[in-house]
Amino acid sequence: FCFEELTILSTGEYFVIDESQYKGALSNDSEELRLVDSLGQIIDVLNYDDDTWPELADGNGHSLQRIDFVTPNVGAGAWSSGTPSPGYEFLEKMSVVAREVVFSEVHYHPLSDNPSEAFVELVNNTSVSVDLNGWCIQGIQYCWESSAIIEPKSVFVLKPFESAIRLSHSRGLMQLVDDELNVQDIMRYEDSDPWPASADGYGLSLQRLNLKFDGFEPGNWIAGEPTPGVSSAFEGSSVLPIFSKVEFELSPSAGTPIGVTGRVKDAQSIELGYRIDFGPEEILPVDVAADGSISVSIPGQVAGSLVRFRLIGRGVGGEGTFPRQGDGATYTGTVVAGEPDSPTSLPRLQWFMPDELYDAARLETTLHGDDGFPAVFAYDGEIVDNVTIRIKGNQARSNKKKKWKVMLPAGHTWDMGGLLETEVDEFDLLPAATDKSFAREFLTSDLQRLSGGYRQEVFPVRLERNNLFFGLYMYGESSDADWRDSLGLSKDSLVYKAERVAKLSLGNLDLPKTDFSTFYQRYSPEFLDPEDAILRGFIRTINTLKGEELIDFAFKHIDVPQVVEAIATMRIAQNPEWQHKNYYVVFDPADELWRLIPIDADLNFGRRWSSPCNARCDEVRADPYMSYPDGNRLARIFLKDEVFLGMVDRRTRSLADEFLAPGYVEAKITNLYDIMSADAARDLNQWGQYGDSQTLEEAQEILLTEYFVPKREMYILTDKYLPAPQISNPRIEVSVTKKDPDGTVLSGRLSNSGLEFVDVSLRTFVDINAVLPAGVVIPPLGSIDVVFVKSPRISEGTSRLVVLAERIAGD
């Protein structure tokens, strides 16, 4: 940052530079700031770090505030911390935490996700009554506006919470400020180490150990069964030992000791407990330096060994561990480097589980939800301990080669060392048990990537159990709450998965809740519309409205681009099931729009389900697929109306011109064969096949010749089914319809003056600073309104379609 114009400061005056005025960012750990005059002379220097400087300024609600303006180049002694007061002098009372009334328990993420079950508990630490009238909890913007008395040494529970003041499910900072603006207490929390992660939606709450000690200190909090109105804190307790900056080598060579270093607070003695594979825990003493640094070495082990360890600190407050109390994992650790039992070109995903537990897991086909069996997973030496794994699927549960759901422990996410596009807390292991080409799920994901629509990441892995080849699997991104968040769906979205025969028809509309759920399985919290009235109302509406009333409803209450994109991609992929099952129907109250999201891709690209072979039929056949899935009442709207059908046809042709272009899929399949062929042969020996015996090469050749070649002929080599290719530069008129006083475009309009449908998916329109989503098609002589704020769709002009766009990066 540089002053680029004359700036005069009077004596005692303050000048504030906020983050919008400079390009850099202040470090959370350490930083050097220099004030330099126009001649390059250093006027003042600030060097701060997170060790000796005021702890309250390190993410705990305070800012660093200078109290000594005389001594130049001063250290931590010239600074205090206090409630941020930009432009004003330091006030002593703003730096003091009174702790007369304090936070004692916080239930920020109930197991049910229902915010009405969350609570904040306060304790009056004094010998007199306290009236909270005029007090506020900063951080959740809550203030008492009437009398609320806490008796001496008594507890007050703030509950229930309204949606406007929901507690964050990931991290929070709260300051209790009295009616004279004194800071009574500060507490913060996070949902991962060094905080107890089991308080994040696993049925436990954060509970303070000692009311006199800091509320921002992780060691002063544990996770426990919620006890609103009963504080378990007492003055005789102390904080638990907390470990930080724990480091060790991943994938050490065979026989090489594993050095472990780190830091510890509030511990009098330290030990390390380690386990090799599934053996008993061994204990080692740990060296501790005066500054809290620790070091210890675990003896070297043979190649492929699973080495897990935990640190154990004992202090006045009791025993603290790393991973800490309330963490979902018991151990951390690594796998000693070693070669696989056979060569591979695939990523090696390692699964460690005792044989007896695995045998129990593979035979248990009734588990759902978060239930399962404990295991350890590793990639490239990085392990995740205490993972939960179970069989998943419907018919797939009866297959010899199972489909698995893998759920990480509380407080842990994983990107497999950068292998994944995003960190996840659960994933699927897809066996491709009904796909001898091992290509369909990967190609579906690739098609969705190319389209820019909703997508789940899929790629092949070599799965090993206890260092032995287990199978050729596909890593599959779970369609869980985190995935739905990544799609931009709000927290209160209603999500249902279609099961059995669920076509959004009137047939099962009036079933009791339990029976209704066998067709539409809820994937959103129960407290949101507990009787499914919103979904039932939607089904009734789309089955009773006719003609223009139905079309008007669709424009206002269905995410038109998303459904257009879904139908277009599934036409190319030829998904044979999503008419009646294996799709999500989603309602987002933030924009009051419904969405239709296809899932489960193992039968795509020419496979079909028919009796008696069911999902194990060998036939592969390309069909035009122009009217499917018209049995689904939502999709039918888009396949029966001339305008909607024109949008779908145009978008289908755009995608077909890319994905079905000669050579595109062939190159993908060739690459898959090159990296998978060796493991596919091992998988065949391990698990066998259904139906006709086929090598990977034969199955992929059938996929190409029986599906992709004829599908290409249907969709892009003739104009029998789809319109001709879109011209390279169709004319689209762009206009700004609303700006704010600063000139930022708030909405715009795109108009098509031509006589053909125009696909503008993913296009950037600089004049309105907009990047459009996938599936946006403008009808002939039609227009669309473009907005940037998610809200119910209300067109302010003649356009029937309102599209939510992203702003161009940087605007």
Q: What is the pLDDT of residues 519-566, one digit of tens each?
A: 999 999 999 999 999 999 999 999 999 999 999 999 999 999 999 999
**How confident is the model at residue 690, as a pLDDT?**
87
The region of weakest confidence among 221-235, 306-320, 567-581, 625-639 is: 221-235
Q: Given pLDDT bands bounded at 50, 70 and 90, which one contains residue 146? A: very high
Domain 242-335 is found in CATH 1.10.287.3610: no
**Rounded to 5 degrees, what angle do the CA atoms 201, 425, 450 make?**
130
DSSP collapsed to 3 states, 180-245:
CCCEEEEEEEECCCCCCHHHECCCCEEEECCCCCCECCHHHEEEECCCCCCCCCCCCCCCCCEEEE
* DSSP strand pairing (373-379 vs 332-335): unpaired
Instruction: Please name which of 359, 375, 363, 372 lies closest in space to residue 277, comparing C-alpha atoms.
Output: 375
- pLDDT tens for 180-191 read 989 999 999 999
* Cα–Cα distance, 779 to 274 (Å, whole number): 66
Contact by Cβ (8 Å): 621, 608: yes
- pLDDT tier for residue 664 given thresholds of 50, 70 and 90: very high
Q: Residue 234: its pLDDT value, please?
A: 66
CATH class of the 101-224 domain in this structure: mainly beta
Residue (of 478, 422, 488, 508) closest to 599 by Cα position: 478
Q: Which residue has the tokens 């904080």?
A: 239
| pLDDT tens digits, 252-292 | 999 999 999 999 999 999 999 999 999 999 999 999 999 99
Structure tokens at 29: 């750990």
Residue 577 phi/psi, 5-degree rounding, is -120, -20
Q: pLDDT per residue over 480-531, tens digit each?
A: 888 888 899 999 999 999 999 999 999 989 999 999 999 999 999 999 999 9
Annotate 473-541 with DSSP letters as a single string. Answer: EEEEE--SHHHHHHTT--TT-EEEEE-SS--S-GGGTT--HHHHHHHEEE-S-TTSSTT-HHHHHHHHH
Tell me the per-residue pLDDT of 709-738, one tens digit each, with 9 for 90 and over: 999 999 999 999 999 999 998 999 999 999
- Mean pLDDT along residues 144-162: 89
Higher-pLDDT residue of 11 and 142 is 142
CA pair distance 495, 504, nearest whole angstrom: 14
Rg (CA), the chain: 30
Distance CA 159, CA 121 (A): 9
Per-chain mean pLDDT for the chain: 92
Residues of the chain with CATH 2.60.40.10: 242-335
